[in-house]
Amino acid sequence: MTNKLKYFIGNWKMFGNLASLKNISQIHRFINANKKIKKSSKIILCVPNTLIYFYTNSMRLKSISIGGQNFNKNENHGPFTGSINASMLKDVGANYVILGHSENRFEGESNKVIKKKIESALKQNLKVIFCIGESLKEKSKKKTLSVIKKQIKESLSKTFNLNNIIIAYEPVWSIGSGKIPKEKDLRKTFKYIKKEFKKIFKKKYDPVVLYGGSVNTSNISNFSSISEINGFLIGGASQSAKKFIDIIKNYYK
């Protein structure tokens, strides 16, 4: 993973069908027509599992990487109705996976389970987009930094290949709400994440850290001046190719 690129990652969540694959072609056309953006950005779309094989089998566009959004904590195959594991995701051609998203944490996913999943993803050579972030209650109690530290400490291990992990800071209160953190808070949090990461893992390594939560075509310009932000995890707005493209365009304006 490199900090020389800006990451624009779409999280389609439980949206999208075969017809939505045309959105991917549209984004691809835009990227290829814009040399400067193509050179400086990395585009990853985390789509529903149902679309991954079709994409990798019949589209496979060079400028776009594809990922999943979660998988079962069990590394081996087994009687887990409705689930897939990391190897099944890799098998259909995914290269990335989102893990630790707050929507999954709401359903009971603990830091311990997330750690197991990250381990299993890395074993399969899947790159991980690891989500962290505080709830509104934690924010109001001024616990943002301690919550983040705990999530990093309990979900990552010094033995993991940190090069294959992208961190996405997504304040839970910001996801889908239209609210974004103040610039000064963001600067402070991003500096803290990068510093803690080095401290915990005793490495000079500068992690790729993204912002996620209500990123849209108009607020994206607020983030451009914050150099610590290495990119964005975009939920709702990524379901529209036009909005996703406009976010990228406006970022570089």
- Of the candidates 26, 71, 72, the residue with the CA atom closest to the CA atom of residue 45: 26
Name residues contacting ligand PGA, limited to 103-122 (CB under 6 A): none
Nearer to ligand PGA, 86 or 215 (CB): 215
For position 170 contacting ligand PGA by CB under 6 A, the verdict is yes
- Annotated active-site residue in 28, 101, 109, 119: 101
Could you tell me the CA-to-CA distances from 251 to 41, 42, 86, 240, 242 in Å, in that order? 11, 13, 33, 17, 14
* 212 lines the binding site for ligand PGA (CB under 6 A): yes
Q: Which is nearer to ligand PGA, 93 or 236 (CB)?
A: 236
Find the shortest distance in angstroms from Cβ 180 to ligand PGA: 9
Residues of span 213-232 touching ligand PGA by CB under 6 A: 213-215
Active-site residue flag, 170: yes
Q: Note whether 134 binds ligand PGA by CB under 6 A.
A: no
Which one of the spans 15-23, 152-160, 188-196, 210-218 is the region binding ligand PGA (CB under 6 A)? 210-218
Q: Which two tokens stand for residue 164?
A: 């294959």
Which one among 1, 118, 234, 245 touches ligand PGA, defined by CB under 6 A?
234
Is 46 one of the binding residues for ligand PGA (CB under 6 A)? Answer: no
CA 72 to chain centre: 18
Q: Applying CB under 6 A, which residues contact ligand PGA?
A: 11, 170, 175-176, 212-215, 233-237
Q: Active-site residue numbers?
A: 101, 170
